[in-house]
Every structure is written in structure tokens, then in C-alpha cells.
A and B are shown apart, each in its own frame.
Chain A
Amino acid sequence: MSGVEAGVLAALAPLGLLALAAVAAMLAAPLERPGLSRGLAAAGVLAAGIAAAAELGAAPVTAGALLRFDLAARLGVVFAAFGALPALALLDGRARGEAAALAALTALGAASLAAASHAASLLLAFELSSLSLVGLVAFRADRAEALEAGYKLVIPAAAAAAFLTLGLALVYARTGSLALADWAGAAEGGGAARAGFAGMALLLAAFAFKLALPPFHFWLPDAFEAAPPAAAAMAGAVAKGGALIALLRLIEVGAMPPLLAEGALAALAAAAILLGAATALRQEGLMRMLGWSGVAQSGFVAAAASSGAPGAAWSALFYLGAYAFGLMAALAAAAAFEPGVSRAGLAGLLRERPWTAAALVAGLVSIAGLPASAGFSAKLTMFWTLAASGGWALFAAAAAGSLLGLFVYGRFAAAAMQAAGGAGCAARAPGAGGRALAAALAAALLLGTAAPLLAPGLPASPFGGP
């Protein structure tokens, strides 16, 4: 076996392990022992994450025509695998084994999307992560809300897939190539070349759906509210990761023209930030608030990505990573309550369930962008890219959204600090695992503050390789 093949195999192994995790969970499902399915899926996902993390330092590898593993792709695989892990931990113990399989499949889709370098793999990975997410969101099909959220997701998902297909077709018509590397300048020029521009615009719309940027955002709050927290973790963080990296790669190779990559994306970002934060402010339900906040947070990610400043891609990736940790911590707390817990229902959390409260408060502090947390550093670097590129209008929108966000998260954090009424705190007491998860997430959020100090050791762009 030659060295090149070994490198390709090592790069593909995590994807294989994710697929294996899904298959194993699926095969175990008929045994009707949900714990077994979850355990198998978690083991596979963990192995995939470790395998991918071990390869982070390797040189870029091309696996056939479909996949290319540069540093960003490898990071995307790590993110998908380790993001699926807490999602599996959050899965309701009574949920049937298929749910674990769907979570692993969503992660596989997101990971493949991050590595896709060809129209075919782009489309397949996009569909895989969308459709398995639909299954996960609508998993409790006996609940009307879950079914409704599933419909609200499947229709835009189908529309987005159509956008993507048509967009890819137009780009192909313009460039004559299905390989992403050949699409540089696809949208430039007039006349027939306008097909390339239209194609790229459609691709941007498809990714905006995945990232839940307005006007393609409405499915996310519904999914958060109706689906189990595990599905929210997959929809709110993991699935966004693959889409973000694919979008950044299109920008990086020069396929996405500045008018779209900077102008349109910045507009989408501003709309997401302001709409998401303003709507989150009016929510009284914890999950629905987190859903709308997820729209706003995608806006911050897109803002960083749209800045065009050096390091913009790093900033966007860092922001999404920090947000994922904050979201997982908040979801870990939400999972301790009955579905549909309201702000008032959080009362007594800090006094009676300090571990759960620590996770919730740490998560909210980080998402709000206050120190000392990963979210603070992420927000600061996001503002940094905007300042460095002179995007002061977007800076102002992001600042306004951050302020609204303080209100949003401050209200919920303060509610968790209030004394409970007569009935006591409504949250279940966490087990040893729950405490460990809460403590680990809170610690990660705290330590993440220092993440920008790693910046000097990173390559200028995540798309070259280390």
C-alpha cells in the first residue's frame, strides 16, 4: 500500500466510522434496547472524532474526485463527530434506537459536506444531513408539534435541495466542470456568464437555509421547540458546521463573487442578527428562545464569513465552534426540564440544581458574548474581522444584536437565579453523567476564552492545510 493511499484511508476513516455508527445503531434498534443503540452510536461517533482529530496535522489529501480533506474539512469532521456526542448524550433515554442512528447520519452528512469538493458530493452530503435531520426533528411523530416542525423543515429542505441542484446545473453550464476547484471566476463576466452568477446565488440560498439565515430561517425555532434537545443540538450546531465550511470553501476558491460573498451574505447576516435577537426577546419558552437565538448566532457567523478580512474564515469557524459549546450547555440544562419549559419555570434552578444551573448560565453567558467565555473571544474576533475590513454598518448591526441578546439571555439567566415557588425547582436532578457533562461544558466554555491565543500558530487560511 503506497503512502498516498494510506493518507486517503486515514482521511476517510472517520466518515466510515460515522457510517458504521449509524448502521450499528440501526441494526441494534429492533432489539428495543435504546441504550444499546445509543451506546453503539456514541462509540462510533467518538472513534470517528478521535480518528479525525488525530489527522488534523496531516497534509491535504484528495480522495477521488468527490472529497478533499484540507484542514477546514478535517475540522468539519471533528466538529460533526464531537458535536454529535453531546447530542447523543442528550437523547431521551426512552427514545427508540433509530433516533441515535439518525443523529449519526446527520453528523455523517455534515462531515461529508465539509469535505465535499465536487457537485455530486455536495448534493449528496447536503441531502443526507437535511433528510436525517427531518427524521430526527419529527421523531416523536405522536406529538402534533413534532410533526408540524418536521413538515416545516422538510419543505424548505426540499426547496433548498432544488436550489442547490439548479444552482449546480447553472454553474456546470457556465464552467463545464463539476469539480469545485474549477469554479473560480464562474460568476464573472456578462452575457451567458450570468448563468454562473445565478447559480452561485442559488447555492448561497441553499446554504442560507442550512444556516437558518432569513428568509430561510423559520424552520429552526420550530425544530427547537418541538423536537427533543438532541435534535436541536444537531440542527443548531452540527448541521450548520458542514454548511458553513462548504460555503467558506466556495468563497475561498473564488467561485462566489464578492457581490454575493460579501454584499448579499452581509445583508443576510444583518437580517439574521436583528430579526433573531428581536424575536428571541419576545419568547418566554426556553427552547423557542434558543431557537431564535440560533438564527441570530448564525447571523454572527455569517457576518464574520462575509467580512473578507484576512482570517475571516477562521473567525467564522471559531464563532460557530464557541456557539456550539454554549448551545450544548444550554441544551443540557433544558433537557433536565419537561419539554416546553418557560422562563418562569426556571425558578429555583441555581438554588436547587447548581450543576444544571452552572451549565445554563455558562452557556447563556457565552452565547451572549460576555467574558470569561469562549463566546466572548469569538464575538471579539468577529468584531475584529468587521473592523479590519471596514464593515462598520454590519458592525453596528452586530453590536445592536449583541445588546438585544444581553436582554434575551440576561432575562433567562436571572430567572434561573430566582427562588422557586412552593413547588420547588421543576428540573430533574442530574445523575453523575449529567453533572460531568455540565461541568465539562462549563469548563470548556471558560477555557475557550483563551482560544484566540492559538491564532499565531495557525495557517493563514484553513483551506490550505497545516
Chain B
Amino acid sequence: MILVGLILLPLIGGLALPLVARFAPGAEDRPVRLATLGVMAAQAALAVAALFGAGAGDGRWLALHRTPWASGVGIELHLAGDGLSLGLVTLTAALGAVSTLASWREIRRRVVLFHLCICGTVTAATGVFLSFDLLLFVFFWEGMLVPAFILIALYGHGARERSALKFLIYNQVGGLALIAAVLAMGAGASPPVFDAFALAEVERSPAAALWLLLGMSAAFLVKLPAVPVHGWLPDAHTDAPTAGSILLAGVLLKTGAYGLYRFPPMLFPEAMVQVAPYAMALGLAGILYGGLLACGQTDAKRLIAYTSVSHMGFVLMGIFALNPLARTGAAVEMFAHAFSASALFLVVGALHARLGTHRMDALGGLQATAPRLAGGFAFFAAAALAMPGTANFVGEALVILGTFQVAWPLGLGAAAALVLSVVYATLLLRNTVFGEPGTRPTEDADLREAAAMLALAAAVLVVGLQPQMLIELLTPAQEAVGRALEAASGGG
């Protein structure tokens, strides 16, 4: 039941926002913003409660929920959460709160719809992380598109209309491939079956499994994004409002990573082993390409967007290295990237709200004019370059170590990419924190922004210094993947 609550809470909370605005008007729409924060706090609390076993789980799952719904057509309300999914749900709620805090200054008009879109994104992403009925999964997967589209198209900057469309089209290409794969798996049976656990038992010919894997992965790779299909991301990140960038980087990208982590090993382990070398190469391509392009940017937001491509390349590589070390690293990196990229977007967004630009040549000299923002920038840039002691270091180091075990040239390439990350982080710092102060005075971070930065910094450090806590949470999911792959290689 707690899992159903996790999906309903942000949905109902979001739908109640117009009522809040109607019956509790306040200056600068404070009640709406506070209500959104309250919803996110309650959601995070509920997710943490589920993490500590408040849901009715069994050994493998911390929480389970299963209601026959429209069983004649194979639709079931089948939700399950382990440390990985519930951790991501908690992260989603926390980033929903961070987005709300980050938009306090930036969003002045259509405030209710804006927060409704935040709640909608959180609802849909939570559904993605918890659904094990694949039709339900598809529903939530597609459901992420509309609120994110509105966030970009209505509240964004620059060529927002174009960027929003690009986001929509790229992701729907993948989405339709996912729909095709899911329907091909389930629609033909009588009665139709869309339950992932039931589908995992079905015997498939190698060719069919390969096609299904490719179809499913198309959606995940676009969202991740992997390199040839990443084109939507730099534009969408750059033109989105701060909250949109935070939710894109912190949540939507993670749904792609989660999908790859969870479903291919469960449904098509043999095919996954078959494609693993190519997928790892794709991951390395993303790491290098994203890092190189980040070094060439003059816009701070675009630079951070390309670092996302690079970091998600690590996740892709880790998932397909097919050993426990790299898989653990990939899962940790998912969280680490969410913290650091969201925080960087928060800082850049705060600067944009003050100075009206995120071009780096206009942002210089922050350390003199806005020391708190400068400090945040420096800290999270250090996290992005995977400084030891940060969560990102744990994630990337584990991925690289794991990769060395299976394919040392790829591991070497990934390690070399760390040099690139030093270059882009330095560029970011040189042009913003240091350098000549701009002509306009900058107001420093306010209490809300400082609180959000501190919370994210704490998360980066806790995971960086005490990774065992997070790793233990992620282990059951990691081991389940390992078992599925082992059974596959043992059987054939």
C-alpha cells in the first residue's frame, strides 16, 4: 500500500495546488510553493519509511504491492521497491524539493502550473521506478514527457520552444520502440501478459531476445543519454528553467539508467551478455565525447549539460561491464551525478536569475561578489571531476575498476577521461569563481538556495566518505542482476 501511496501522494498534492492558490492566496504565491515543499517532504519521508521496511516486503523486496486490475488484458497494479528503486524515489522527492527552492525567485508567473508540472514529473518518475507491470511502466514512462515539455516550453529561456520539441521527439522515438518491444512481448499471448516477472520466465529465441532488448534499450539510451542519441540534452538543459534542468539531470536521466539496470538482465540476460561489449564501447564514447565537448563550451549551463553525457557514460559502462564492482559503481554514480549536476544547475540558475545570463564570460569574479555561490560552485565542480571524498569518486572509481577486470583498454580510456573532467571543471571555475568581477553587483545565495546547496553537499560527502551505507542499500538489486546473468550463462 505504501507504494501506491508514493505514486498518489505527489499526484494528489499537485492536483490540490490550484485549490491552495484559490483559498490561501499569499504574496509571491508562497502558499503554493510551501505546499509543494510539504508534498515533497512527505513523499521523501514516506519513501524513507519504505526503505526501512514499512512496506509489506519479502526477502528480496522491501515493499511489494499487487492488485489484479484489468487482468483480462494483462494490466496489473504490480509495484515493487528495493533499495535501488526506493532510493531513487527518495532522490526524486528530494530533487522535487530542491527544484521548488531553486525556482522561488525565477518563476513569477503561472506559478501553480509550474509546481503542478514538478509534481507531475515526480509522480511519473516514481511510477517508473516502482512499476513491474510493463504496460504500467510504459504509461509512467510516457507520462514524464508532458510535464517536462511544459516546463521547458513555457518557463524556459532562449529557443525554448525548439528545445522542448527536440526533447519530446527524441524521447518519443525511444518511447515508441519501448512500446513496440513491450507489446511484442505481451500482446500476443492469450490472455496477454505484461508482468515483468512472468515475462522473465518466457523462453525466447536468441534473435527475438536481441530485437526486444534493442527496442527496450532504445528508450533507455535516449533518456540516459548515450552518445549518438544525446542531441536533445544540451539544448533541453540549457533552455529549461532551473527546476527543469534539475529534474532532467537528477531524475529523468536516472529513469533511463534505472531501466537499463533493471530490465535487460531480468528479461533478456543472454542477449545482454551478447551486446555488452558494444554497449560498453558506447559508454566510453559518451564519457570521452561528453567530456571533450564540455571543454569547448562558453555557456556554463551547456558545459554542465555535456558533463552529464560524460557521467552517464560511466553509468552505461558500469551496467554492461557485467560484474558486481562495476554495477555497484554504476548505481552509486546514478546518485552521485544527481547530486552534483543538480547542484551545479542550481548555482547556474541562481546566477541566471540575478545576471540574466549563463555565458561564462559574464559570470566571472564570483568569489568576490557572491562568496556563498562561488563556494558552492567550487565544491560541486570538484564533485563533478570526481575528487576523492565525493560520491562521484566512489561511483567512477568502482566503474573503472570493474571495467579493468573485463576489458582493460576500455577501463584505461575511462580513466583517461578523468583528465578531461579536470579540464572542464577547471575551466568552469576559472571563468566563474575566479576572474574579473562583472560590471553588475551580484547578490549572494539566499537562505533557500544555501539550504538546498548544503543538503546536496552533505549528500555528496556522506556518500563519498561513507559509501558503504548506500552500497548496502543497492546490493540486493545488484545481486539480483548478477544472479539473472549467471543463470543465463550457466544455462547456455
Contacts and interface: CB of A to CB of B under 8 A. Distances in A.
- What's the dominant secondary structure at chain A's contact region? helix
A413 interface: yes
A326 to B, nearest CB: 14
Contact of A414 (B153, B172, B188): B153
Nearest to A458: B72
Interface residues of B, number: 35
B49 interface: no
A455 interface: yes
Nearest to A456: B72
A407 B169 contact: yes
Interface string B127-138: 000000001001
B82 interface: no
B161 interface: yes
A403 B161 CA distance: 17
A269 interface: no
Contact of A403 (B73, B149, B173): B173
Contacts of B138: 380
Interface in A412-466: 413-415, 417-418, 449, 452-456
A224 interface: no
A195 interface: no
Contacts of B384: none
Contacts of A380: 135, 138, 179
Contacts of B407: none
A395 interface: yes
B361 interface: no
A403 B150 contact: no
Interface string B144-168: 0110011001100000010011001
A274 to B, nearest CB: 15
B143 A372 contact: yes
Contact of A370 (B109, B146, B165, B179): B146
A387 B187 contact: yes
Contact of B75 (A387, A414, A418, A453): A453
Nearest to A370: B146
Chain A's interface size range is 20 to 34
Contacts of B69: 453
Nearest to A384: B187
Contacts of B109: 351
A350 interface: yes
A411 interface: yes
Interface in A337-394: 350-351, 365, 370-372, 376, 380, 383-388, 390
B110 A456 contact: no
A351 B110 contact: yes
A385 B188 CA distance: 9
Nearest to B152: A414
A120 interface: no
A351 B154 CA distance: 10
Nearest to A419: B109
A388 B145 contact: no
Contact of B169 (A376, A403, A414, A454): A403
B139 A456 contact: no
Contact of A371 (B142, B183, B192): B142
B70 A453 contact: yes
A395 B211 CA distance: 15
A402 interface: yes
Interface in B169-220: 169, 172-173, 176-177, 179-180, 183-184, 187-188, 192
A387 B134 CA distance: 15
A399 interface: yes
A386 B180 CA distance: 10
Contacts of B110: 350-351
A411 B161 CA distance: 8
B71 interface: yes
B118 to A, nearest CB: 16
Given A371-B139, A410-B168, A417 B180 contact: no
Nearest to B68: A456
Given A370-B145, A395-B180, A415-B161, A455 B172 contact: no
B153 A388 contact: no
Nearest to A310: B190
Given A370-B146, A388-B187, A417 B154 contact: yes
A303 B73 CA distance: 20
A350 B153 CA distance: 12
B164 A383 contact: no
Contacts of A411: 161, 165
A373 to B, nearest CB: 9
Contacts of B169: 403, 406-407, 410
Contacts of B164: 410, 414
A402 B145 contact: no
Given A403-B172, A410-B168, A455 B73 contact: yes
A390 to B, nearest CB: 8
Interface in A17-36: none
Contacts of B153: 413-414, 417
Contacts of A455: 70, 72-73
Given A370-B146, A414-B161, A453-B69, A384 B176 contact: no
A460 B37 CA distance: 48
Contact of B180 (A351, A387, A449, A453): A387
Given A370-B145, A402-B172, A406-B168, A417 B150 contact: yes
Contacts of B146: 365, 370-372
Which of A390, A395, A410 has most B Cβ within 10 Å? A410
B161 A418 contact: yes
Contacts of B176: 399, 402-403
B188 A387 contact: yes
A254 B431 CA distance: 74
Contacts of A350: 110, 154
B107 to A, nearest CB: 13
B106 to A, nearest CB: 16
25 contacts: A370-B142, A370-B145, A371-B142, A372-B139, A372-B146, A376-B142, A380-B138, A383-B180, A386-B183, A387-B180, A388-B192, A395-B180, A399-B177, A399-B180, A403-B176, A410-B164, A410-B169, A414-B161, A418-B161, A449-B139, A452-B73, A453-B69, A455-B73, A456-B71, A456-B73
Given A380-B135, A410-B164, A414-B165, 9 more contacts: A383-B179, A385-B187, A386-B183, A387-B184, A399-B179, A403-B169, A406-B165, A417-B153, A453-B75
Can you list the 3 inter-chain pairs with the closest CB atoms, starting with the nearest? Answer: A456-B72, A387-B183, A414-B161
Interface of A: 350-351, 365, 370-372, 376, 380, 383-388, 390, 395, 399, 402-403, 406-407, 410-411, 413-415, 417-418, 449, 452-456
